[in-house]
Chains A and B, each alone.
Chain A
């Protein structure tokens, strides 16, 4: 669509128009539990006078011009606004990258196809005679998103992305206690959700083993091996958030703690962020119009970069990285990760485990948080004894100090995977991200 906005004089202005389409279906114990779709169009209008941002949101695109005018009326005109350091940082790009305007566009998927996919999984992964399973739920869904940013500086970029999710969860009741576990994945297209039966049944077997045989573990410090999905979260929580530059803008203590060139971890660790990868954190242009790029945050244990929006880049005198992201048109962009991962090393998983006398293999995880102490909540752990993976164990939390744990990584595997099943919360905003890494071994993590 061709938009012609009258941008107010002596103010920097922008319009971000977003379109969403969502579809979902869930079957629980044989009955359709949820079956829905929604479509949404909305816009955020922003005006900047050099001191403050003035913003408004609307679901009626015909109101955009009046919103612009109303915001301009309360802002203070600034004839030098285009010389403002933040405004000078804003790139001028004109582009349209509609990656999913193809047959893979989920808006073209008939709703009945979701039911067919789930029915196929139910047939192969649910045994009505299976007495171990007291509950099951399977779900599938998709979201297509299109963003367009038009600014008074001349930018007009449009891009789209989408995600498709599938899950199959089981409840196993043993001695009156029901534990839940299963398989879930997020991909970029629906066909990628097909043919996962073996993975589903493998996860089912692992969680059933956990439900029947998990032992408690004495809280304390243990040598740990983290599976790739856990390393991915570890990378995101322990280090990724510290690479977001907005928290150190006026903070001398943090700026000194995270000075570029400082050794902050083991030389085996290299960590990147790259919004140009077509994965869950794909952002070819960020919500300020900056083109995505690959940013090395840590190279061989040395801090080499950080993530920026225009404000943090201009304040710190560093390059923009395309990491200004807003959850949706209700929110203003802030510095966020995109696709963040630890690069593969050369170590073998079996060698990592073989080198441990008494430790823990952390195979799956649900969520985590990151501050100076990072916390992860594992869902599947095993005891390692004399170099062998033994019985499942019940672990509530895995914690460590960011400042120490990055130095404690003494093996980095060659089994890299990138996971699209993450969302990240910060400042009241949830954005899609992907996170990745290989198996790693950590000399000491606190288990409770």
Chain B
């Protein structure tokens, strides 16, 4: 019998500002563990929220062998640690920084009601087993998130924003607020051609679903039988990337304990579908190559998932990619999600017009429609080398107004 243990801890300090003033301070300390035993191709697992000593944890995991959860695989044995922390703020430092940011916001934009949360999060993940595996990662970031509403608006909120920084810079906060609010009262018309400039995480779910090895193997993926085909734009390359500095609080190993070469798996390269993804269990069941990743599961055996997707950035800035055109930055929108054919619509209730360097004004409400093939194919423009407005990676893409 072999033993393994996963632990996760997160310590958070949060300052909340409502109607311009500090209304609450919270301290949160979370710890979770998963004790696992492996015997005769089965796994016994005990998931615990809060502290538990190892003797009790492994004993309960052993009792759980009765569930007969299959895990007929060799355990991994690597050792490595990664520390992505840059500048960890004390509570007093974070409070002073947050109050300074809010002073600027309140004084510069008195016509807006904002609720803003500043959260310092320190994170640690570790996985060990009795064959010698010892992986660990630490991270720290200050997350700023909030909603804003113009005092004359009949909406509950007019928009929302959020970004993370490992070394908090107040100048970035000010710039983000200036971009969102500075030209908000200036109403402008929609351009003839609509180019969306959006955070793309929500748009990549199509690949998460249809590149899953299980879906590919059983024929329920739109990509079944299409590996090796050029389906998307020459400029579109999609990776699962756990090395990414822009990914937050993520381990570099997967739920099976596997580590990718260069911490990356290329799924689409220059528009060509290269591979789906499969964890050990899926690979065995469908007799397909094991690529990883497997999602981390503290309460059961892992399965295929846990992708950290990234579109390869262009060498050009957002401004250069726009090449003189204007783009739309949605600040309050509701997407439909993809339907079974890959079609996608979005109601954009509030948006800003952007030229790649400065915000020009606020746009009227409108709807757009597109498909996954168009988004990452003929209508794909790129992901800029810089990250204006959002302070995060953003996709430029042409869409149809409906």
Residues of A near any B CB (own CB < 8 A): 29, 32-42, 52-60, 74, 111, 134-135, 171, 173, 176-180, 211, 219, 241-242, 247, 249-254, 257, 330, 332, 369, 371-373, 375, 377, 394, 396-397, 399, 403, 427-428, 448
Contacts and interface: CB of A to CB of B under 8 A. Distances in A.
Nearest to A71: B27
A66 to B, nearest CB: 12
Nearest to B340: A179
Nearest to B368: A448
B151 A42 contact: no
Contacts of A171: 220
A397 B368 CA distance: 11
Contact of A373 (B67, B222, B365): B365
A124 B253 CA distance: 41
A253 B152 CA distance: 6
B344 to A, nearest CB: 8
25 contacts: A32-B69, A42-B49, A55-B25, A56-B28, A58-B29, A135-B220, A176-B224, A178-B219, A178-B340, A242-B156, A251-B113, A251-B151, A253-B151, A257-B154, A330-B28, A332-B26, A371-B155, A371-B156, A372-B155, A377-B337, A396-B339, A396-B343, A396-B369, A397-B345, A448-B402
B26 A59 contact: no
Interface string B333-349: 01011011101110101
A400 B26 CA distance: 38
The 5 A-B residue pairs with the shortest CB-CB distance, nearest first, are: A59-B50, A179-B340, A36-B299, A53-B24, A178-B220
Contacts of A41: 50
A59 B51 contact: yes
B171 interface: no
B300 interface: yes
Contacts of A397: 334, 336, 345, 347, 367
B303 interface: yes
Contacts of A396: 336, 339, 343-345, 369
Given A52-B23, A396-B344, 10 more contacts: A29-B218, A33-B303, A38-B49, A56-B26, A59-B50, A242-B156, A251-B113, A377-B336, A399-B367, A448-B402
Interface in B294-326: 299-300, 303
B281 to A, nearest CB: 10
B157 A371 contact: yes
Contacts of A38: 47, 49, 299
B349 A34 contact: no
Contacts of A33: 303
A65 to B, nearest CB: 15
Nearest to A55: B26
Given A36-B299, A178-B220, A371-B332, A53 B347 contact: no
A91 to B, nearest CB: 21
B157 A448 contact: no
A428 B28 CA distance: 15
B22 A52 contact: yes
Contacts of B25: 52-55, 74
B54 interface: no
A18 B27 CA distance: 17
A53 B151 contact: no
A397 B336 CA distance: 6
Contacts of A250: 19, 113
Contacts of A74: 25
A58 B345 CA distance: 42
A237 to B, nearest CB: 10
A170 to B, nearest CB: 11
B24 A332 contact: yes
Nearest to A211: B340
B110 to A, nearest CB: 12
Contact of A134 (B153, B219, B365, B402): B219
A157 to B, nearest CB: 23
B387 to A, nearest CB: 23
Contact of A375 (B26, B67, B334): B334
Interface in B215-236: 218-222, 224
A53 B16 CA distance: 10
A86 B340 CA distance: 50
Contacts of B50: 40-42, 59-60
A375 B220 contact: no
B220 A371 contact: no
Given A56-B26, A257-B154, A35 B69 contact: yes
Interface centre among B27, B145, B224 (most CB of A within 10 A): B27
A74 B51 CA distance: 27
B341 A177 contact: yes
Contacts of A241: 156
Nearest to A179: B340
Nearest to B348: A373
B248 interface: no
Nearest to A250: B19
Contacts of B347: 373, 375, 397, 399
A288 to B, nearest CB: 14
B207 interface: no
Contacts of A254: 154, 156
A162 to B, nearest CB: 18
B149 interface: yes
Nearest to A219: B402
Interface in B250-304: 299-300, 303
Contacts of A399: 347, 367
Contacts of A252: 151
Nearest to A178: B220
Contacts of A60: 50-51
A448 B345 contact: yes
A95 B241 CA distance: 53
Nearest to B20: A250
B31 interface: yes
Contact of A35 (B29, B145, B300, B349): B300
Nearest to A34: B300
A219 B45 CA distance: 51
Contact of B149 (A37, A55, A180, A251): A251
Contacts of B149: 251
B340 A177 contact: yes
